[in-house]
Amino acid sequence: MVSEISNIARGGAGVAVAMPSAPAPASSQAPGSSAIQLPETPKVQAPKPVAIKFDASEVRQNLQEAVSMLNQQMASTKRGLGFQIDEAVGGPVVTVRSAETGEVVRQIPNEVVVRVAHNIEKVKGLLLNARA
């Protein structure tokens, strides 16, 4: 038993002993140099400024023209759809009308939402005193 223990301690009888590996072969490159040459300081370029021209009145005019074209198209096809731009809502309002009676069947956004938006526009002057 003592011989088995001493054999195990020396690395025998099923125990794997790590043998020191051979040193890595020397590189043909000079020390401190690498295969890829990196520049000392990276060259960073600022992005070129982009001039964005946005004319809100032109966009509003184009939107009004599109709405009138849609209304003309719907009138020519005898459909009960109506389109309008509501400033208080901040976008388009679509109404679906009955062809026989002319009453509003459906409105997007809902009539209640449109009324609330108009009331908020009325109250804005009361909530904010714009004196400088």
Amino acid identity for residue 126 in this structure: L
Domain residues of the chain, as ranges?
A: 56-127
Is the pLDDT at 30 greater than 80, yes or no? no
Is the pLDDT at 105 greater than 80, yes or no? yes
Assign 120 to helix, strand or coil: helix
C-alpha 36, offset from chain centre:
37
Is the pLDDT at 128 greater than 80, yes or no? no
**Which pLDDT score is estimated for 1?**
53
Q: For residue range 40-93, list pLDDT tens digits in order.
A: 776 778 888 888 888 888 888 888 898 888 888 887 777 788 888 888 888 888
**Which pLDDT score is estimated for 98?**
78
C-alpha 81, offset from chain centre:
33
